[in-house]
Structures are given as structure tokens and as C-alpha cells.
Amino acid sequence: MGRLDILVHSIAFANKDELKGSFLNTTREGFAMALDISAYSLIALSREAMPLLEKKSGSILALTYYGGQKVFPNYNVMGVAKAALEMSIRYLAEAVGPEGVRVNAISAGPLRTLASSGVGGFNQIAGHVASKAPLRRNITQEDVAGAAVYLSSDLARGVTGEIHFVDSGYNIIGL
């Protein structure tokens, strides 16, 4: 297999029924599945990747969403899973830091992808962000790619355990 420079975690799943209606209706099975696939998978992947990742220069990058820090309508159990993912970033950063491996996440603003295509009210969310965010626009795939290249590269050699927002600045706004 050779060596790995970068591991990108970009996987999440919750049952469609859990991504609508009241959070009170979150099922034990739906909760377990969302956290298993969306958060625990980072720990499992990181453990398997560690023997392959370059010591002193390897890095791990995950993708998260502001719904892991604030409440968004319908995001529900995915918000809890992203909160677990974001805290796992910090614990993993501490665990693999001594080998010189860094662990960070990008918290991206709403972006049209396969994962967001099944999301009811996506256009409304994107429209709201574009009207309120400091940059008054939605992000692009290239915006995320730029941050990903930076965080994965030696340019970010002193950065680990960080949740880096690529969201046109939306997260700094109070109202």
C-alpha cells in the first residue's frame, strides 16, 4: 500500500425520517446509526490509517457543519453526531499529535452536494446564509478546496484540533 500523506473523512448518514420533524422523536436506533456512521467512523479510520500516515507530516481532515454547534431546524440527530465528530477531532489531535500527525475539520456553509440534495428547505437555508453572512454569498466547492489544501499541507504545520469555518463568515453573526 505504501504511505499516506492525508486522510479525508467525508461520510455522514442519518435515516431520512430523523432529518425532519421533532428531535424528541429521535429513535435509539437512529441515534446509534447516525453517530456510528458520522462520528465513530473517524476514530476507526484514523486508527487504521495511523500505521500508514507519515510521521511528522501526515494529516487527517474531516468535514462538519455548524448544526453541530447551534440548533438548525430538521438537522436533529445529525447535529448531535457533528458535535461528537468535532469533539473527536480534538481528542484525536491530542492522541496522534505526539507522532506529528495533525487532525482538523472544515465546517462548511451550505453547499449543493449529493448529501444536501435530500434536504428539504435547502434553498431557504442557502438564501438565508447568503443574505446574512459577512461576505453576502454562499460558498463554493473551490472555497472548501482551498481551505482543505491549506489544512492538509505543511502550510498548516502548527494547526491541529481546529474546527475551521468556511462559511462566508456566517458563524460570527448573532442576528
DSSP for 129-162? HHHHSTT-S---HHHHHHHHHHHHSGGGTT--S-
Query: Which of 2, 118, 158, 174 touches ligand 0WE by CB under 6 A?
Result: 118
Residue closest to 41 by CA, chosen among 85, 92, 104, 103:
85
HEC-encoded secondary structure of 37-86: HHHHHHHHHHHHHCCCECCCCCEEEEEECHHHCCCCCCCHHHHHHHHHHH
Total residues contacting ligand 0WE (rule CB under 6 A)? 16
Indicate the helix (H) or strand (E) that contains 95.
Answer: helix 76-96
Binding of ligand 0WE by 16 (CB under 6 A) = yes
Our answer to whether residue 65 is catalytic in this structure is yes
Task: Return the number of the residue (53 or 84) whose C-beta is nearest ligand 0WE.
Answer: 84
Query: Helix, strand or coil for residue 15?
Result: coil
- Options 52-60, 73-81, 97-105, 139-147: segment touching ligand 0WE (CB under 6 A): 73-81
The residue written with cell numbers 499541507 in the block is: 153
Residue 58 or 110: the one with the smaller Cβ distance to ligand 0WE is: 110
Contact string (CB under 6 A) for ligand 0WE, positions 125-164, x = contact: x---------------------------------------
- Torsion angle of alpha carbons 16, 115, 162, 8, nearest 10°? 120
- Minimum gap (Å) between residue 161 Cβ and ligand 0WE: 21
Task: Spot the catalytic one: 75, 91, 150, 170.
Answer: 75
Check binding of 115 to ligand 0WE (CB under 6 A).
Answer: yes
Q: Interface residues with ligand 0WE (CB under 6 A)?
A: 12-14, 16, 19, 65, 72, 74-75, 78, 110, 115-116, 118-119, 125
